[in-house]
Amino acid sequence: MNPKNNRNSVIDALRGYFILWIGLYNTFAVFNVIQPNLILSSILLFINDKGWFCLSAIFGYGFGLLIKLSKDKPSAFAKRMFLLFLLGIFNNLFFYGDILKEYAIIGLILFYAHPILAKYPVSSLLFICFLTFLALYYIPFDMNEAGNPKDYFHDSNIFIANLKYCINLNLHSLYFAVCYHLEMLLMASIGFFISFFHLEGFILRKRFTLLWFSLSMMFIALATIFFILENGSALVKIFFFTYILSLSTSFVIGFYLLIKKYYSLVLFFIPFGRRSLTIYLLQNMIITSIWLWSDSNIEGYFNEFFFSYCIIQLVILFFSKFLVVNNMGVLEMLWRKWSQS
């Protein structure tokens, strides 16, 4: 079957593209926490949150495929998500911003709620949207209550610091614990509905794409204006979320249109998508290794850090192409083996 006409191949290519995006963002984010930089801050402002938003939608899309094809019993699926959650905790030792734990929880929610979601798709999506906007309006932005990751890095072993910051973020920041996860659930639900109801063809219609991109530009412009004029208002968080939502969905739709048109892009990104867990963990392990190598003094290793990032990407390319078992990454193979045992 032609990969560009195979839904699994399309999702692999999308996942591969955005997992590399996440690697780029995580590297810049870690360095910017240690040594704030105007250029990096500007780059992060453009890509901040979009990567995991896009991956959340792709996760939901793949999950919709899995539900229609899977013959897993609820207990078997719960075991798969539990293993993914444990893998997220392990990954948390290397990077405080792990998202695997959240995906495991969202996976369970979608799995047990999918009969209702499938029966009442519009109402379900509107309800999740309503909860998200309600939480954003009433819950203050309090992520600073968890402290600065940099302080944890200097006070504790880096592995413990990553885990401790993640735990404190969930315990001391209601905004992170509620709003952040509702946003992920919303994006995953959008991807789920597109996959479950075969709406990809609708996205390919020129009228839809033109309308969506026009609306996205309008939302982005309104969010920017409102942020400038009403900084401090509770509505700023809602407009900022619509800005991220609009830009993220535009990124996914735009890249989806590209890979449907250019077959070579599908072939290039499929290997990364099929090894996304391995790549994600490898990226975070190497970033942590750079921290240890710099003897907790990254401030004095600006050039070496970016040189090391280039090495990260080369290593990832090497492992993605050659570290393969049964046409998948080593971590993917182990996860599937453990979940089926």
Which pLDDT tens digit goes with each residue over 273-322? Answer: 888 888 888 777 777 776 666 555 555 555 556 566 666 666 666 666 66
Span 124-180, pLDDT tens digits: 999 999 999 999 889 988 888 888 777 777 666 778 888 888 888 888 899 989 998
| Interatomic CA distance for residues 138 and 136, integer angstroms | 6
pLDDT for res 4: 45
Section 254-259 average pLDDT: 83
* Dihedral sign of CA atoms 286, 288, 294, 298 in order: positive
pLDDT digits (tens, 9 = 90+) for 193-232: 888 888 777 777 777 778 777 777 777 777 677 666 666 6
Q: Is the pLDDT of residue 16 over 70?
A: yes
As given in the structure block, the two tokens for residue 163 are 């885990």
pLDDT of residue 126: 92
Q: Is 37 exposed, middle or buried (0-12, 13-18, 19+ CB in 10 A)?
A: middle
Average pLDDT over residues 25-45: 66
> Which burial class, exposed, middle or buried, applies to 130 when counting CB atoms under 10 A from its CB (0-12, 13-18, 19+)?
exposed
Per-residue pLDDT, 3: 46
Contact 201, 220 (CB under 8 A): no
Residue 41 clears pLDDT 50, i.e. is over it: yes
185: confidence class by pLDDT, cuts 50, 70, 90: very high
Which one, of 110, 61, 74, 65, lies nearest residue 253 by Cα?
61
**What number is the average pLDDT over the span 65-77?**
70
